[in-house]
Chain A
Amino acid sequence: MPITNVTKITGQILPNNAKISYDAMDMIQQGATKYINFVTRKAKEQCQSEYRKIMNAEDLLWAMKKLGFNDYVEPLTAFVQRYRNIEGSDLFTSHKEPIPHIENNEPRPNPMPTLEILHSPVPPPVHSSKPYFSIDTSHRELIPHTENNGPSLGLEPNHMPTFEMTPLSPSVHPFESYFSIDPDTNLEILDPNDINEIYLDEFGVGCSNDAFNNVDVSALFKHDQP
């Protein structure tokens, strides 16, 4: 038992002008230790008689009464009751600890908006990419038409050089002009009926040299206008 604690306690009951020798303080200190051993030994008998392994407050109070410290029992009984009441309030305080966990749940909604943000940027690039694919398809369709010109030229081997030179130049210009003007116009040109008509006109004009030169130009314009 620390001597400082014993000194403070003795100071509570002695007059201000009182003094206490070191030997006396030492004796009181030893007495307190022996008191604990004395009461503990008696309390142990109570525990063993009831086959209990844990020594509690009741055992100590019982021992004090048996050993003649009757004056101590009543104040200490009140002391134990107050101690347990306050200890109960401590348990209530422990219940408050789960509250922080509830606060931790609040951050959880935050990930949800993040997921929404992830979804939002996805649609725009998908939509923007579609028009490019459609344009590429239109370019591929033009190629088959040029292939169709092959067999028609093969039918007239004698006039081949003249036909080959003339129709290529005017045919190319109109296509380019149409592309530059409107995409819808390209669709009209792509119609197989229109293309066939152009080729037939060319065959008819081939009958006379003079008429061919003049008629070719006018005929082309006429078909284009309507």
Chain B
Amino acid sequence: MDHQGHSQNPSMGVVGSGAQLAYGSNPYQPGQITGPPGSVVTSVGTIQSTGQPAGAQLGQHQLAYQHIHQQQQHQLQQQLQQFWSSQYQEIEKVTDFKNHSLPLARIKKIMKADEDVRMISAEAPVIFARACEMFILELTLRSWNHTEENKRRTLQKNDIAAAITRTDIFDFLVDIVPREDLKDEVLASIPRGTMPVAGPADALPYCYMPPQHPSQVGAAGVIMGKPVMDPNMYAQQ
């Protein structure tokens, strides 16, 4: 537990910088969709004012974010390995097969929901009880990983949606994921995709700069509305 606590502290700080990076990338995306020239002009302005320091900061943010993501994935893999190892050890200690974590009658009913399934051996529900327990534990573990990424202590629907989206063997569960959670997950994945495209995005705004000068001011206003950007803007100014 102490080690986990220590590891969480630096990750918390790093996550903060990662969040800044994420917010930095966000205006690029909406800029392209709604008022690309305006947002581009704004970013160009900031670059011109600070030049090298701005570029260095962006690079650092990207690297930090990638590192955090890799670290979290590595942590998850370790947790999963420990989970399966403990499962195998627990099974070797099982002596009572009459007390199941899940009711066998209910499992049998669910199995027989398929009309073609008529006869089931006595072993099948017992095995399924254990398998479902493993499934619930794995899904919960992967979901909690997403909860921790967002610095929350309450596991929510979107955490489960994220776990389902990220795990191939959970594809059959896409039906139970609400569309809203799917969209959120898709949007969350876009910023990472746009990172490598940052170069060409910077190149494009030069072409649009002169003709849409008046609308740029409006877009800048929208950007100003975001609380995270405020300190950066003031600092740059």
Contact = CB atoms under 8 A, between A and B. Distances in A.
Interface of A: 1-2, 5-6, 8-10, 12-15, 17-21, 23-24, 27-28, 30-41, 44, 48, 53-57, 59-61, 64, 67-69, 71-72, 74-76, 78-80, 82-84, 86-87
Given A76-B131, A86-B97, A1 B102 contact: yes
B219 interface: no
A86 B91 CA distance: 13
B95 A55 contact: no
Contacts of A32: 102, 132, 135-136
A225 B107 CA distance: 118
A209 to B, nearest CB: 125
30 contacts: A1-B110, A6-B136, A9-B136, A12-B137, A14-B144, A19-B155, A24-B155, A27-B161, A27-B176, A31-B136, A34-B173, A36-B107, A37-B114, A38-B172, A40-B111, A40-B114, A40-B117, A54-B120, A54-B121, A55-B120, A57-B123, A59-B124, A67-B172, A76-B134, A79-B91, A79-B94, A82-B92, A82-B97, A83-B126, A86-B95
A56 B155 contact: no
A102 B128 CA distance: 41
A67 to B, nearest CB: 7
Given A27-B160, A35-B135, A76-B130, A5 B169 contact: no
Contacts of B160: 24, 27-28, 31
B156 interface: yes
Given A13-B137, A55-B124, A75-B134, A37 B110 contact: yes
Nearest to A41: B114
Contact of A34 (B88, B114, B116, B175): B175
Given A1-B106, A20-B155, A71-B138, 10 more contacts: A5-B102, A13-B83, A13-B144, A18-B153, A53-B118, A60-B127, A74-B88, A78-B88, A83-B126, A83-B127
B194 interface: no
Contacts, number: 176
B60 interface: no
A33 B111 CA distance: 9
Interface in B43-95: 80, 83-84, 87-88, 91-92, 94-95
Contacts of B117: 40, 44, 55
B7 interface: no
Interface residues of B, number: 62
A72 B173 contact: no
B8 to A, nearest CB: 11
The 10 nearest A-B residue pairs measured at CB: A56-B121, A68-B169, A57-B123, A20-B155, A19-B154, A54-B119, A36-B110, A23-B157, A10-B140, A9-B136
B113 interface: yes
B127 A57 contact: yes
B144 A18 contact: yes
Contact of B131 (A2, A14, A64, A74): A64
A78 to B, nearest CB: 5
Contacts of A12: 137
B94 A82 contact: yes
B22 interface: no
A44 B63 CA distance: 49
B168 interface: yes
Contacts of B141: 13
A13 B140 contact: yes
